[in-house]
Amino acid sequence: MTRFGKLGDFRVFSWRRPMSGKTITLEIDTEHEDLLRQYAGFLEEMKDLAASAPDGTVLDACEEAVIEKGREHQRRVLQQAVQSRLDAAEKKGAPLRRCSCGQARENRGVSSREVFTCLGSLAVRRRWWGSRCPCSPGAYHADAALGLDGGLSPRLQRKACRLAADVSFATTAEHLRELLGVSPASETLRLYCERQAGRMAKWQGQETASAETFRRAEGAHEFAVDAGKVNTREKGWRDLKIAVVQKRPAAAPAIPAEWESRVLPGATARLMWAEISASRRFRRSWHARLKRLGLPSMARLHVLGDGASWIWKAADRALSGCRQTLDIFHASQHIADAGKRLFGEGTAEATTFHEHGRDLLLKEGWTGICRLIGEELEREDTPKRRQILDRLLNYFLGHMTRLDYAGRLASGDAIGSGVVEGAAKTLGLRLKARGARWRHKNARSMAALICCRQTDQWDLFWDRAA
């Protein structure tokens, strides 16, 4: 502050100390006088409110008033700070007044713009600068210094996107009104959020910062794949392919009986992404992404998924040499379904078949399934039973090499693909809410927004150098 010491710029300001009733004298910049007087009034007002609010309502009354009125004080501080930068950027001799070629720009008049921020709306005043040279078009050049890229501040856009990753744009608008007291229209929020989501989608596959987190993280690479649905305006329902990669330290060795009760350590690093595309296109990105995340060799990668054949075809093609495991819950469900068909739904025999079959599967994998089916055929061999058991056998035949549950439990690895199913559910809840239909481009962008919101990529995106 170069003006410090110039007496004319300061005003003596008296402040009453609340407890003692004494006053102190502050020296303040005249520029701040209004704000500080208002703030001193606010402190008095709150003290009065606390003294006069009826018993039992003091905290609620004061909290509400401090939030509402405090926000208005903060808004004024923000307005003043921002405006002072705009004024400085445009004052006489400022670089902004000249084009990079040296030609002076032409002041074509002041205009005020309303900007929604987390503290309410600001009116920012700046000038339109015309060009006399062909280098660049006329513009409100000072807006760039603020980092302004529309009618919503970057900070408010970040908060709106956070909410919009979870709930509809209409609900996002309601939440912003209730929590921050700002009310952009939900259609406005949609435009800003979809724009940021588009940037996120482009950025997500290219950023390198999370690779660093992955390299440092403890544990082995786990990769899980699944698919959901999204309704697009252009082509109706489309497959949304979802991938989750994470590092996880090994759990303590477990035996098959402990498959459900053992505790798996949490992920130390995680990324997820989704694409509306054919599996062939989707799988093409896998290898490069995993390598970038520090995967030493495909033999060290553990892939988990349900029984969908595209997943395993893609894994064989793109991740040749990886270890594979069929999600235990899907496998177990197939045994349960066969049990229902054999013995009738809800019967004790069906339950016994399911539990016994799952036991054999966990302990012996493919051999266990063969044993289960052999036992049943020995009990009774009718065309109907044979058909049901053939179907079960065929399902597991396709996954013969993905059933080493006992081995995975002993080495402390996961045997379920719950993490990607959770991601699919989260994406489905947001993208399919209330019969939503998306433009293809926006569905893709919003999927990236929702995926980033679940991982460290969220902060990395917003804190990135623009």
Token pair 């266990």 is at which residue?
A: 368
Residue 108 CB, shortest distance to Zn ion, in Å, is 16
Contact between 103 and Zn ion per CB under 5 A: yes
- When the beta carbons of 107 and 347 are compared against Zn ion, the nearer one is 107
- Which one of the spans 101-109, 234-242, 267-275, 453-461 is the region binding Zn ion (CB under 5 A)? 101-109
CB 261 within 8 Å of CB 245 = no
Contact between 110 and Zn ion per CB under 5 A: no
- When the beta carbons of 101 and 209 are compared against Zn ion, the nearer one is 101
Which of 82, 99, 335, 423 forms a contact with Zn ion (CB under 5 A)? 99
Residue 92 CB, shortest distance to Zn ion, in Å, is 19
Question: Rule CB under 5 A: which of 204-263 touch Zn ion?
Answer: none
| Torsion angle (degrees, nearest 10) of CA 158, 161, 166, 167 | 130
Instruction: Tell me how far apart the alpha carbons of residues 430 and 386 are, in angstroms, rounded to a whole number.
Output: 43
- Which one of the spans 100-108, 241-249, 435-443, 457-465 is the region binding Zn ion (CB under 5 A)? 100-108
20: how many CB neighbours lie within 10 A of its CB? 8
Residue 48 CB, shortest distance to Zn ion, in Å, is 59
Residue 96 CB, shortest distance to Zn ion, in Å, is 13
For residue 361, what are the contacts with CB-CB under 8 A and spacing of at least 6? Answer: 331, 332, 335, 368, 369, 372, 403, 405
Which of 24, 26, 88, 101 forms a contact with Zn ion (CB under 5 A)? 101
| Torsion angle (degrees, nearest 10) of CA 339, 341, 342, 347 | 60
Residue 285 is inside which H or E element, if any? Answer: helix 279-292
- When the beta carbons of 135 and 278 are compared against Zn ion, the nearer one is 135
Residue 91 CB, shortest distance to Zn ion, in Å, is 20
- When the beta carbons of 135 and 209 are compared against Zn ion, the nearer one is 135
- Which one of the spans 91-99, 284-292, 389-397, 410-418 is the region binding Zn ion (CB under 5 A)? 91-99
Q: Copy the structure tokens of residue 322.
A: 């990886």
Contact between 104 and Zn ion per CB under 5 A: no
Residue 131 CB, shortest distance to Zn ion, in Å, is 6
Token pair 């744009």 is at which residue?
A: 169
Burial of 242 (0-12, 13-18, 19+ CB in 10 A): buried
Question: Rule CB under 5 A: which of 121-150 touch Zn ion?
Answer: 133, 135
- Which one of the spans 2-10, 73-81, 97-105, 180-188 is the region binding Zn ion (CB under 5 A)? 97-105
Q: What are phi and psi of 20, to 5 degrees?
A: -90, -20
Instruction: Tell me how far apart the alpha carbons of residues 318 and 286 are, in angstroms, rounded to a whole number.
Output: 7
- What is the sign, positive or negative, of the torsion defined by CA atoms of 164, 170, 173, 175? negative
- When the beta carbons of 24 and 139 are compared against Zn ion, the nearer one is 139
| Number of residues binding to Zn ion, judged by CB under 5 A | 5
Question: Rule CB under 5 A: which of 163-202 touch Zn ion?
Answer: none
Instruction: Tell me how far apart the alpha carbons of residues 425 and 242 are, in angstroms, rounded to a whole number.
Output: 11
CB 100 within 8 Å of CB 115 = no
Q: Measured in whole angstroms, how far is the alpha carbon of residue 58 from the centre of its chain?
A: 38
Residue 110 CB, shortest distance to Zn ion, in Å, is 22
- When the beta carbons of 38 and 103 are compared against Zn ion, the nearer one is 103
Which stretches of the chain bind Zn ion, using CB under 5 A? 99, 101, 103, 133, 135
